[in-house]
Amino acid sequence: MTLRRFRPYFRYLLDNRRTFFTAVFYGLIYGASSGLGLPAMVNYVFPPIFDHTGPELATSVVVSIALAIPLLFLLRGVTGYLNSYYITLTGTRILEAVRLDYFRKLQVLPLSFVQNRRTGDLISRGLADTAQLQNALTVLANDGLKQPMTLVAAVGFLVWQAFATEGVWLVLACLATVPLAVLPIRYVGRKVVRRAEQMQAQLGNVTSQFSENLTAAREVRAFSLEARETKRFSDTTNALVNAQMKIVKYAQALTPTIEVLSAVGISATLVFAYGTEVKLETFIAIITALYMAYEPVKKLGGLNSELKRGEASLDRLEQVLHEPVRIADPATPVVVTRLRGDLAFENVSFSYGENGESAALIDITTRIPAGTVCALVGPSGAGKTTFANLVPRFYEVDVGRVTLDGIDVRALRLADLRRNIALVSQEPVLFNDTIFNNLALGFEGATREEVIAAARAAHADEFIATLPQGYDTVVGERGALLSGGQKQRIAIARAFLRNAPVLILDEATSALDSDSEAAVQDALRQLVVGKTVLIIAHRFSTIRDASMILVFDKGRIVAQGNHATLYAGNALYKSLYDLQNSSAG
């Protein structure tokens, strides 16, 4: 069962077939030299030297015979080293490929999949579980061939001795203890797989808590939560230690159990050898061969435990790797370049729950002509952000369709669709890179002059010029070295540079002071000419230039028009506007 679980992932080995088969080649030589070479050396190298009944050997002959010992160990050492080197190289490349596939899959899964899972647990799967899978695959590829080769060579020597030496066949009865070693291997394997699943899940909890704590570093200090967080982390790591030790308890018991069985076999061999008057050198060779037969059995037991841990990690990885990609390019996409931005929703409904139990939008029908600045207004949770997120297909509609220039967005390639949309979120994300590269994300291949022009349009050039390295300043993780307003202006400049026909502004000026906000609003007035703009409005001061306002409530559009019309004719809009004005006052 276990090997069948890993079979689809053997392609990672084949993708690295050159290094893999090189490792296998040296591993087979190592196994043969261990299982056959050591017993043969004991049986054929030592006796001529210590047999004083025959003619005396010349020194040169003795030296020649003695040289067989270092030559054999040199062969084992070199092939063992090369086997380990190439299997490690193969394993490292496998780890890179597995992680890349995992990361690549995360990039195409819908936002709902990522948002409904803990970031730390997803990171743990991509780091710890991929490492465990890589280890299981490489150990299987290495010991799965090398150890059986050692076992076959050792047993082959014993069978050969049975035919070559009178009475030695009785000694082979001692090999009956070898199959007994399989029993503890099977028992331990069943125990380890359950414990391994618990351990990997608990490791995800540790990573998740670590990530959560570092993200909330300011809040932890502000509320004096240092001791509380340390206690929480201590409890979580203690649970991880307990899960790890349960695996150790079973896995480490396997080696002494097999060794005891090996000792029983050797003891039985001694008794049989005495009864059959086997020569000492033959007996020692047989004992060496028996030992070399038990050693791979012991290592194959460890391999079984490793595979069980790998199977547990594989279960966690496959929850991501096998997750269906529900938002993808159509089989025959409509080819477009630059769209006009004529946006329409036709009887659109959408729910976040899989069974439709959490309706976010209900039967939405509206048209936003190209060049319209449209504000989305309503109470928190009314569906404004969801409405905007359906345009770039961050989510897929349940019913109805969303169109751009009359084309269903599902008929477009995702890259073509999103190339025509620029997004500025309420909490902009900057990458740990230079300001220039963060700006250039908006338009691939942008020149330095174009980037600087966009920054000037967003009034970002002013503060960038004061930084130590200017546009080459690294902003830190998530833009930690910049203020909220500075990050917001970088994000707005990025949207300017993209120059897309559709703009989605999620309260794009929320982090700016009054002076900066006035300057950016002026820049936005110039930018939106000829473009379709969706403003997710939390402050009514940001919608004064909107030519169209959609009022949302409980997932429905309950009114639309301009400010004057809605203030006079819609009670919800009037109450929201008056409440915010009174709060501002």
Structure tokens at 275: 């009864």
> How much is the pLDDT for 283?
66
Between 208 and 18, name the one with better pLDDT: 18
348, pLDDT greater than 90: yes
One-letter amino acid at 508 equals: A
**Do 502 and 344 contact (CB within 8 A), yes or no?**
no
Homologous superfamily of 2-321 in CATH? ABC transporter type 1, transmembrane domain (1.20.1560.10)
- Distance of alpha carbon 315 from alpha carbon 321, whole angstroms: 10
Residue range 239-263, pLDDT digits in tens: 877 776 776 666 666 666 666 766 6
> How much is the pLDDT for 579?
81
**Do 374 and 546 contact (CB within 8 A), yes or no?**
yes
Phi/psi at 412 (5° precision): -100, 150
213, pLDDT greater than 50: yes
Beta strands in 418-577 (DSSP E): 421-424, 502-506, 532-536, 548-553, 556-561
Between 492 and 43, name the one with better pLDDT: 492
Buried b (16+ CB within 10 A) or exposed e, 109-128: bbebbeeebeebbbebbbeb
401, pLDDT greater than 90: yes
Mean pLDDT to the nearest integer, 534-559 = 83
- Distance of alpha carbon 551 from alpha carbon 78, whole angstroms: 76
**Do 440 and 498 contact (CB within 8 A), yes or no?**
no
Q: Is 154 exposed, middle or buried (0-12, 13-18, 19+ CB in 10 A)?
A: buried
Q: Where are the domains of the chain?
A: 2-321
Mean pLDDT to the nearest integer, 491-518 = 76
pTM of the model: 0.69
Mean pLDDT to the nearest integer, 56-84 = 75
- Distance of alpha carbon 344 from alpha carbon 491, whole angstroms: 26
310, pLDDT greater than 50: yes
Residue range 99-132, pLDDT digits in tens: 888 888 888 887 778 777 777 788 888 887 888 7
Number of Cβ within 10 Å of residue 295's Cβ equals 19
Between 580 and 432, name the one with better pLDDT: 432
Structure tokens at 528: 């939106």
**Do 177 and 293 contact (CB within 8 A), yes or no?**
no
H or E element in which residue 25 lies:
helix 17-32
Mean pLDDT to the nearest integer, 96-100 = 83
> How much is the pLDDT for 1?
47
Residue range 293-304, pLDDT digits in tens: 666 766 666 666
Residue range 461-477, pLDDT digits in tens: 888 888 888 888 888 77
Percent of the chain with pLDDT over 90: 11
Phi/psi at 322 (5° precision): -100, 0
Strand 532-536 and strand 373-377: the pairing is parallel
Query: Residue 334's pLDDT band (boundaries 50, 70, 90)?
Result: very high
Between 279 and 92, name the one with better pLDDT: 92
Mean pLDDT to the nearest integer, 443-455 = 84
Mean pLDDT to the nearest integer, 492-502 = 86
> How much is the pLDDT for 169?
58
Query: Residue 79's pLDDT band (boundaries 50, 70, 90)?
Result: confident
Mean pLDDT to the nearest integer, 531-551 = 81
308, pLDDT greater than 70: yes
- Range among 274-278, 284-288, 446-450 rated most confident: 446-450
Average pLDDT, the chain: 77
> How much is the pLDDT for 405?
92
